[in-house]
Amino acid sequence: MATLKEEPLARVPTPAIPLPPINAATIQRARQGLAAARDQQARVGIEDSLRQGDAIADGRPEQRISGAARRRLLHLLLAPLLRVRVENPENIPTTPVMLAPNHLNHIDPFLLLAHLPPTPYYYVLGDARTLYNKAWKRWLIHRVGGVIPLDRIWKEELAVIAGAQDGHPELADLAAELTRDVPDGGSLDALRRLDRIVQGIFARGDSMVIFPEGGLGTQEGQLRLPLKRGAIIYAMRAGVPIVPVGITGNRDLFLGKEITIRFGTPLDLGHAERPRPRAVQAGQAALEAALRALLDPHYQEPRGPKPLRHLLNHMLW
């Protein structure tokens, strides 16, 4: 077993990234992430989806069902469980667009795809290990397509690595294993591959869904800040508008819960092959303000019985 002294840990988060406290839940989640990273069937599924993405970048056809069929399937699965109200759907362009929703639950991409227009076709950029960690998820993704997996290290894993370097020697072995076995998607080749796939999607007239918070938030009406730059940069490089999307009521699910999906006014950030940092920062600020305007900071959870609460909140973990 490698130790921290034998294998230095380079992936220490910057102070701008809020990390969870070192507790039993954080350590358990980090162990789950490590197990998912070592799951060979999951890795095969992730690479299969990335190869489908490579086909898009190269202008070749990839395996997917139609947007209409996907929407019908997801609506059939979700309609008996949740009540969804869609507001301002007229703000969704019929041309290629970047959708940028807030993110409070793993069910969010499925909710969106069940209520978006079938054309243009929407691809979702999502966390690879969360999407491919169970056989039924891999089976569904393999058949419906439309997923671009993003390899990245989780905040709980970063917390364990940082904790091992800051007074928690009992985490040394776990931190070394995380550093060795968990891909963070940060290599230049991985980033270039992802960029080619995204630009290929826009080039052929399709659209993207990217959650700019970079992970799950923890409170209704609040954003996980700072927003990531990816959605802004991809949209500016392709010259497509960004539509902010506010999802409310999705933090705590139960049978019959009402959820609101509210589409904001498209943001035109211009077209730049190499967006300048100042322009990207301005885009982040504009998107943050637009998302805040779509959310309810005073949202109150309904009272009363909450059937199937545990199942609905954990079925996609």
Domains and CATH numbers, the chain: 64-152+185-314 (3.40.1130.10)
Residue 90's contacts (CB-CB under 8 Å, 6 or more residues apart) are: none
Whole-angstrom distance, CA of residue 105 vs CA of residue 211:
11
With b for 16 or more beta-carbon neighbours within 10 A and e for fewer, the 177-206 pattern comes to bbbeebeeeeeeebeebbeebbebbbeeeb
Residue 12: its pLDDT value, please? 41
Max CA distance (Å), the chain: 57
Residue 284: its pLDDT value, please? 97
Residue range 152-192, pLDDT digits in tens: 899 899 999 999 999 899 999 999 999 999 987 778 888 99
Whole-angstrom distance, CA of residue 223 vs CA of residue 226:
8
Total Cβ atoms within 10 A of residue 285? 13
| Residue 178 to residues 108, 164, 171, 181, Cα–Cα distance (Å) | 27, 11, 11, 5
Residue 4 has pLDDT above 80, yes or no: no
Residue 7 has pLDDT above 50, yes or no: no
Whole-angstrom distance, CA of residue 150 vs CA of residue 196:
13
Total Cβ atoms within 10 A of residue 39? 17
101, 207 in Cβ contact below 8 A?
Answer: no
Residue range 125-147, pLDDT digits in tens: 999 998 898 888 888 888 788 99
Residue 17: its pLDDT value, please? 63
What's the pTM value of the predicted model, to 2 decimals?
0.88
